[in-house]
Amino acid sequence: MKKHSSIRNLFRLIYGAGAFLLMALAVSVALLFANQGKLISSQKIRLESERLVNELRMSSDTLTHFARAYAVTADPEFENYYWQVLAIRNGQQERPEDYAGTYWDLAAATDKSSRGLTAPAPLHNLMRDVGFTDEEFAKLRSAQEDSDALVKTEEDAMQAVKGVYRDSSGKFSIHGEPDRAMATRILFDQTYYRQKARIMRSIDDCRVLLNARTAALTEHYQTTGSRYLAVAMGCLAVLFILMPVSFAVVRRRIGAPIDALHGQTQLVANDLERLAQLIRKISQGEATEHFKTEAQPLLSGSGDEIGQLVGMQNNMIARLQESGVAIAQVTLELGRAHQALQRESASRELAAQKLAEGKSFIEVVLNNVPLGVVACDVEGTWTLQNRAARLLHGLHEDVESSLKADGRAAHLGLYNAEGSRLLESHELPLSRALQGESVQGLEIVVAPKGKPRRTSLVSAQAILNSEGKVVGAVLIEQDITERKLGEKALQEAEEKYRSIFENSNDGIFQNTPEGRFLSVNPALARMLGFESPEDLIGARGDIEREGYVDPALRQKFKDALELHGVIAGFEYEVYRKDGTKIWVSENARIVPDAEGRPLYYEGRVQDITDRKRTEARVLESKRFLQSTLDALSSHIAILDQHGNIIEVNDAWNHFGNANQARRRQRGVGDNYLDLCDRATGPFSEEAPAMAAGIRAVMAGENDSFELEYPCHGPQEKRWFIARVTRFDYASQIRLVVAHENISARKRAEAKMREAGEKLEGIINSVEGIVWAADASTAKVQFVSSKAEEILGYPLTAWLEETGFWRQHLHPDDRARVIASSSEALAQLRPVELEYRMVAADGREVWFRDRTSFVSQKGEATMQRGLMIDITA
């Protein structure tokens, strides 16, 4: 007979599934929040790392800027700025708080110091603090070594402005005339530019490695967050499906059977009343009618509590029907007994007929009962098997009746209860019954060939004749496969629930509305600092007073629970045993008594202290990031993938407010691309180029975009540089648009150009040829215009022809001059030579040539000199 789980188990299944889904939802949401915090932290590290790399690049550019400015102007303030930049980078001087890309531009223009200073910190240490890798450090170390080498070159130039030169040991011990022209050549020749390029290549390589690493980390957290979100949404979807399905199942399993049972009960009551009246008539000798029940058995495949009630009522109806049949037979037999007195022969025929009908009746009954029935003779040969037995053993109606006991176990697949071995012939229930043994409740496994295994519950006993002699045996068996599976499932479910209760990381509890614990699991005891559940239950008799940090929340919790029946995600602070506080999140429901009144509360508790701390840190990080942006002097805006402005810093707002009389405010909610496309009026010529650059970065065609543009005010002329970079956030494109005021730099560049023009005029006014050449190849890199005036050769010939100077030395002087020059080059000492050169028109021109050398790490890199015409 097919068995079903009880109604109690049904509700346990529904509540268990709901609790599991809620727990999975809570865990996935907690993991999602934790992952979001890591994502924000990785973005912050990425911004800080990029800033530090830019600071290294900025420091090298600033050193070059001040060295050149000093070489051109000889203003000691520029030298002072130079050594301050180097000291800050090396951690030998306190760092300004507003040490950004424009700091030295502002300092050089306004001579204003920083708003505050922080402790000295080498740039290398700051990079280590934000997690630079060894490979990235290797690139940065190479860049800094090249930059330090460039510092020596720049120091040579600045010392030359003072008239101080290195001796053969590399010390500045030689004092002479200041040579600003020499300083300018050092800082503007090709060797200097190659050194500068090596520094920038190493920095670019580091930036590529940095971007790849931080982008991979950001992508990892974004992918993980998407997975947690998908799990949470899946749990919600299953919960929404579970609720209507549970309602339908409960309605089908409980509501409909109860309605049918109520109607059947009314019919049974009517039948009992009619039966009582009929019995009274029979006792008075007046009964001539038959009794037939109006109530009919209900069909129920359920084995739960309602199914058991239906079964009991069906048994009552069956007994009523049997009573009706018995009464009808009594009535009929009374009449026939009277006739039997008159016709004995007719009675015998009638008896034979009744015997046949009885046998047929028995066969019909046996074939319709759900139990298997098998009978055998004294030899053990089967003489009877009903339909249920044939179905259980896989037999046909007309075979197997003569099967002997010796081969029956193997042929029918009869095994012991464990299913591990075939039964011996003497172990078969019928064989044991023939030996006089009463077999009751024996479990065996039935496994016919080609059929699934079934478990059968067997009883057997001997059949005795009137003399008490064994003439056969009968066996009754019941297929209990489903029941065994149900019992196993129930046992596994109970073990699973107990395991969950004992081993869950969440606290599980039952407590009374008055605030007394009924049961708690070990996890809740550990969470609250107790050694065992028993210690917790014994120590806290009033949860509201002894557990809640804010006792008023207990009443709020009870009110919400009694209003809705369940509560989820109720967060509050509780005291642990040692008096410390933790944050918890509670999910609970009311368990009512038979009358619907709250009996106790049960639920789960999670320790969310870390989550609360993380949320506080995330909020603080967001505030810190906004404060950082607001502290920058650059005007910064964040755009979405459509060009809409979604965030700006204070500098952006202040600039917009100060200029809104002349231009439309560009704030949050405006579309930056639309503003560029519609720009008109003064200084709007660069707007189309700006819009095109933004769209190219947005489309991924370029990694970044820069544009310098004028934006003059009524009081002063101003220049800005706009930089556009792209980053991905939550699988969406974001752009950073930064406008930096470079007016000070532009003014400094103008001054440097003016100084350069003055220097060029000074050089060209010198009565002699000023020249510079590569020390290793002797290729001329610079020559003043006097060369063409004195010798008649075009300047391009000096600069483009390798060995031009040597080729035009007078043949009689060439060997001597080259030997003396080579000796001076090897010793890195200045030399003065007199020699002749052949002019373009064939003239011999005498020169006095004063030559000096520029070296690096003991090796000459450049030679330079002044050739004075002494022909006259």
- DSSP per residue, 691-724: HHHHHHHHTTS-SEEEEEEE---SSS--EEEEEE
Domain-embedded: residue 323: no
User: How far is residue 96's CA from residue 77's CA, in Å, rounded to a whole number?
Assistant: 18
Best CA proximity match to 59, nearest among 119, 111, 100: 100
Average pLDDT over residues 70-82: 84
* Structure tokens belonging to residue 827: 């010793």
**Number of compact structural domains in the chain:** 5
pLDDT in tens, 340-395: 545 555 555 665 577 667 667 667 766 777 788 888 888 888 888 888 888 888 78
pLDDT computed for residue 302 by the predictor: 63
Is 357 part of a structural domain of the chain?
A: no
| Confidence band for 665, pLDDT divided at 50, 70 and 90 | very low
How does residue 837 score in pLDDT terms, banded at 50, 70 and 90? very high
- Examine the domain organization and report whether 661 and 793 are in the same domain: no
pLDDT over 60 (residue 109):
yes
Residue 233 has pLDDT above 50, yes or no: yes
Nearest to 715 by CA among 695, 736, 743, 687: 743
Name the more confident of 191 and 140: 191
3-state secondary structure (DSSP) of residue 477: strand
Mean pLDDT on 215-242: 83
780 and 642 housed in the same domain = no
Domain boundary among 690, 711, 745: 745
493: in domain: no
The first and second tokens of residue 287, run together, are 């009964």
Q: Is residue 123 located within the same domain as residue 217?
A: yes
Lowest average pLDDT, out of 379-388, 454-463, 718-727, goes to 379-388
**296: phi > 0 → left, psi -120 to 50 → alpha, else beta; which?**
beta
With 50 as the cut, is the pLDDT of residue 656 above it? yes
Last residue of a domain, one of 745, 780, 798: 745
319 CB-contact burial (10 Å; exposed 0-12 / middle 13-18 / buried 19+): exposed
Interval 768-788 mean pLDDT? 88
End-to-end CA distance of the chain: 135
- Residue 532: pLDDT band with limits 50, 70, 90: very high
Answer yes or no: is pLDDT of 496 > 70.
no
Does the residue 305 lie in any domain? no
Residue 430: how many other CB atoms lie within 10 Å: 25
Residue 261 has pLDDT above 70, yes or no: no
**641 in a domain, yes or no?**
yes
d(CA 706, CA 721): 7
Instruction: Determine the Cα–Cα distance for residues 69 and 82; give it in Å rounded to an integer.
Output: 10
What is the pLDDT, as a whole number, of residue 867? 92
| Last residue of one domain, picked from the residues 212, 227, 245 | 245
Residue 859 token pair: 């090796």
- Please tell me the least confidently modeled range out of 207-211, 307-311, 429-433, 788-792: 307-311
pLDDT for 864 beyond 50: yes
* Burial degree of 118 (CB within 10 A; 0-12, 13-18, 19+): exposed
Average pLDDT over residues 212-236: 83
Q: Using CA atoms, how far apart are residues 92 and 799, in angstroms rounded to an integer? A: 43
Q: Which residue has the higher pLDDT, 401 or 602?
A: 602
Instruction: Give the pLDDT of residue 34.
Output: 83
The pLDDT of residue 664 is above 50: no
* Order of all β-strands in the sheet with 382-385: 382-385, 372-377, 470-479, 454-464, 439-446, 414-415
- Who wins on pLDDT, 353 or 524? 524
605 and 636 share one domain: no
User: 690 and 795 share a domain?
Assistant: no
Whether residues 602 and 713 fall in one domain: no
- pLDDT the model gives residue 551: 92
- More confident site: 118 or 703: 703
Mean pLDDT, range 782-808, rounded to an integer: 89
Cβ neighbours for 303, distance < 8 A, ≥ 6 positions apart: 1, 2, 3, 4, 5, 6
pLDDT, position 221: 77
750 belongs to a structural domain? no
Same domain, 380 and 458: yes
For the stretch 276-293, pLDDT in tens is 676 666 655 555 556 667
Token couple for 256 = 């409909």
In whole angstroms, give the CA distance from residue 600 to residue 543.
14
**Closest to 95 measured CA to CA, from 59, 130, 68:** 59
Bridge partners (DSSP) of residue 771 are 783, 865
Taking all residues of the chain, what is their mean pLDDT, rounded to a whole number?
81
Measured CA to CA, the distance from residue 810 to residue 793 in angstroms comes to 15
At residue 579 the predicted structure's pLDDT band, cuts being 50, 70 and 90, is very high
726 vs 623: CA distance, rounded Å: 22
Q: Do residue 227 and residue 370 come from a single domain?
A: no
Tell the residue number behind the tokens 């967060």, with chain if given. Answer: 571
- Tokens 């009794």 belong to 291
Six-digit token string for 104: 């030295």
User: For the chain, what's the residue count?
Assistant: 872
Which 8-state DSSP code applies to residue 548?
Answer: B
CA distance 59 to 115: 20
Same domain, 670 and 589: no
Tell me the residue range of the domain where 552 lies.
Answer: 504-614
Which one of 48-57, 484-493, 789-798 scores highest in mean pLDDT?
789-798
H/E segment holding residue 667? none
Q: The tokens of 627 are what?
A: 């404060």
Same domain? For 461 and 517 the reply is no
Tokens of 288: 């001539």
| Residue 858's CATH number | 3.30.450.20
3-state secondary structure 65-115: HHHHHHHHHCCHHHHHHHHHHHHHHCCCCCEECCCCCCHHHHHHHHCCCCC
pLDDT at 186 over 50: yes
The residue type at 843: R
User: Alpha-carbon distance 651 to 670, whole Å?
Assistant: 17
Count Cβ neighbours within 10 Å for each residue of 399-408 and write b for 16 or more, e otherwise.
ebeebebeeb
Q: What percent of the chain has pLDDT over 70?
A: 81
In a domain, 274, yes or no: no
Residue with tokens 């992508």: 219
Q: What is the pLDDT of residue 550?
A: 94
Residue 465: inside a domain: yes
Q: Is the pLDDT of residue 722 over 80?
A: yes
480 and 542 in a single domain? The answer is no
pLDDT the model gives residue 101: 62
Does one domain contain both 542 and 638? no
Rounded Cα gap, residues 6 and 309, in angstroms: 12
User: In 3-state terms, what secondary structure has residue 57?
Assistant: helix
pLDDT beyond 80 at 146: yes
**Does the pLDDT at position 809 exceed 60?**
yes
**How many whole angstroms separate alpha carbon 443 and alpha carbon 440?**
9
